[in-house]
Amino acid sequence: MSHYQTLWRSCFSPSLRPVTISGVRSTARTVNRAQAGGAITINKRRLLRDLNAISRIGIGDHGGITRLVFSIKELRSRQFLIHWMRQAGLQIYIDRIGNIFGRLNGANKEAPVVLVGSHLDTVVQGGKFDGTMGVIGALEAVRTLKEQNIALRSPVEVVCFVGEESSRFGYSTLGSSLVAGELHGKDLTHATDAHGTNLAEVLAGLGINRRNLRSLRRDPATLKAYLELHIEQGPILEAKNKRIGVVTSIAAPTRFKVVFTGQADHSGTTPMEMRKDALVAASEVIVAVETISRRYSRMEKGRVVGTVGAIRIEPGVINAIPGKAELSVDIRSITAAAKNRVVRLIQAKIREIARRRNLGLKILPLRQEDPVPLDKRLVHLLKDCCEARHIDYEVMPSGAGHDAMQMAKITPAGMLFIPSRRGISHSPLEWSDPEDICLGTELLLDSIVRVANEKV
């Protein structure tokens, strides 16, 4: 059994008592519909308490949170969720990779399900809201529906997808890709972490291999829709003074690794004209990614963003010329044509740099995806939900990736955003106002009720 399997199974060991959070009463106040003048109100205190409890898992000295996929911290966060789902009386189902589904039945148990959720894994030194708010918000919405006996026709399932972040393997939306049947063998070839652990090996330890990659795929006929609440992770809502974003489409990335191979050599004795320095070539690439992406970075249609987010060099010491440099490149846009054009220009430039500097070069594809439009009827429904609560909203695309982009391939998908302070995310400085978190969760709840009860 793999190390990961052992850890994961320990989450279900009867000897492991459910986690309780000291100093907080679990019977927090619930406001009912009558008190709220018609609109359903969630238990805000419980929502914020649970969000804070999860955020303590993986927190570092400077307030950054690190729960990389398949790490002990990430498993621990999923264990909390399972515990709360049990307490809420949801029917729990966990698939082979560890995606967790907590089901509340509606009047028709056989009806297609309204799936609602996000992810609990984080980047390195990330914030407490990215993903977590969507999972805990979905849980709170469903708990409220159950407690207040709100009539539902379709079942509702809270979902926590495994490994939405690409920070460890360069592979994003792992769990939702499997559920959507969108994980392809070729995507796994170069998906390794900084320690050389291969994603394919981790998956094999869980019984997922190239032959059964589609075995976790959910039959689209069993789904009615997918809804996700998320922080915006950008500056638009704050700049426009809007409390809610209704998402129309999601930008998708093309990602690849670049490996330059030169010659490691003595930094004192090797004349400048005899060097084959892989790091200097890499630095040219970093600047080229910025320069070319900037040329296409207009804010309107066709905006492209490009980032070199990670670099590794060998031998990486002060007195040796770097003989090897490996960079990760991430290019995104809402428009496939614009993105593909920038990718072509950048890759041509990289080849030119390698030729000019006489270096070995490999460009290793990680993942190539197309931007994803979200369901138009759900956009209307979400706008309606905002209007019913007299909330000013912005209709907008998402620059960040989300599990919704995979789910949209098998079911109508809709997303709500709440503002991020100063637009900052993937950083310890990530922050969203508790009032906005509660509002987003209540709108999520409204939309669940409508999707579960109406023809969508």
Residue with the shortest CB distance to ligand GLV: 401
Q: Which two tokens stand for residue 319?
A: 């007195």
Q: Which residues are CB-neighbours of 273 under 8 A, at least 6 positions away?
A: none
- DSSP letters spanning 302-321: T-EEEEEEEEEEES--TTEE
Sheet containing strand 252-261, edge to edge, reads 304-314, 324-333, 252-261, 360-368
For residues 155 and 163, which CB has a smaller minimum distance to ligand GLV in the complex? Answer: 163
Nearer to ligand GLV, 43 or 166 (CB): 166
CB of 401 to ligand GLV, least distance (A): 3
- Give 131 or 440: the residue with its C-beta nearer to Mn ion: 131
Q: Which amino acid appears at position 286 of this protein?
A: I
Contact present, 102 and 154 (Cβ < 8 Å): no
Min CB(191)–ligand GLV separation in Å: 15
Pick 426 or 450: Cβ nearer Mn ion? 426
* Pairwise CA distance, residues 51 & 41, whole Å: 17
Tokens of residue 35, six digits: 């008190």
Tell me the one-letter amino acid at 236.
Answer: I
Q: Are 198 and 185 within 8 A, CB to CB? A: no
- Contacts with ligand GLV, residue ranges (CB under 6 A): 165-166, 172, 400-401
Nearest-Å Rg of the Cα atoms of the chain is 23
Q: Which is nearer to ligand GLV, 79 or 425 (CB)?
A: 425
Binder of residue 398, out of Mn ion, ligand GLV, none (CB less than 5 to 8 A by kind):
none
* Alpha carbon distance 393, 418 (integer Å): 10
**Site residues for Mn ion per CB under 5 A:** 130-131
Q: Which does 249 bind (CB under 5 to 8 A by kind): Mn ion, ligand GLV, none?
A: none
Q: Which does 371 bind (CB under 5 to 8 A by kind): Mn ion, ligand GLV, none?
A: none
Q: What is the helix (H) or strand (E) element at residue 281, kind and residue range?
A: helix 278-295
CA–CA distances in Å: residue 384 to residues 51, 166, 380, 419: 27, 34, 6, 19
Nearer to Mn ion, 130 or 157 (CB): 130
User: CB 413 → ligand GLV: shortest distance, Å?
Assistant: 16
Least CB distance to ligand GLV at residue 331 (A)? 12
When CB distances are held under 5 to 8 angstroms depending on the partner's kind, the choice from ligand GLV, Mn ion, none that residue 335 binds is none
- Pick one of Mn ion, ligand GLV, none as the site partner of residue 401 (Cβ within 5 to 8 A by kind): ligand GLV
Least gap, CB of 215 to Mn ion (angstroms): 25
Q: Select the binding partner of residue 228 from ligand GLV, Mn ion, none (C-beta < 5 to 8 A, by kind).
A: none
> Which of Mn ion, ligand GLV, none has residue 406 at its interface (CB below 5 to 8 Å by kind)?
none
Closer CB to Mn ion, 130 or 140, in the complex:
130
CB 426 → Mn ion: shortest distance, Å?
Answer: 6
CB contact set of 163 (below 8 Å; sequence gap of 6+): 69, 70, 97, 119, 121, 169, 171, 172, 173, 174, 175
CB of 230 to Mn ion, least distance (A): 6
